[in-house]
Amino acid sequence: MARILIMDDEEEIRSIIRRALTMAGHEIIEAEDGAVGLRLFQASSFDMVITDLLMPEKEGIETILELREEHPDLRILVVSGGMAGDREGPLADAVSLGADAAVAKPFTVAELLEAVDGLLARD
């Protein structure tokens, strides 16, 4: 399946995403923030990045902008909390600045898998 890099400072969220996507057949690598994630990304190849927005060291928007500049075809999914249903909030900003899709925390495994499968299926 796909090789996916997860960037989130919450270990519990990374664990939920890792378990769901591993069961779906994906290979998962984890990073606790954008700075670590970008180093991992530069050292290897990934089909998709899933990133939080609010993280220490390097936050999600900055991470998305750096990834998008060098990898325009990379699939990027944003997961972040406290913004469900906000059409003008940080999730919408992340999509307008380069993320391909966004899922609000808390999310269901079905919502996560639907977003990941949709992005991986695109040409």
CATH number, domain of 89, equals: 3.40.50.2300
The predicted pLDDT at position 39 comes to 97
44-70 pLDDT tens trace = 999 999 999 999 989 999 999 999 999
24-42 pLDDT tens trace = 999 999 999 999 999 999 9
The predicted pLDDT at position 49 comes to 98
**Structural domain count, the chain:** 1
Q: Which domain holds residue 93?
A: 3-121
Confidence of residue 83 (pLDDT cuts 50, 70, 90): low
Helix ranges, 47-98 (H)? 60-70, 90-96
Would you say residue 79 has pLDDT above 80? yes
Q: CA-CA distances (angstroms) from residue 75 to 16, 67, 95, 106?
A: 20, 10, 12, 21
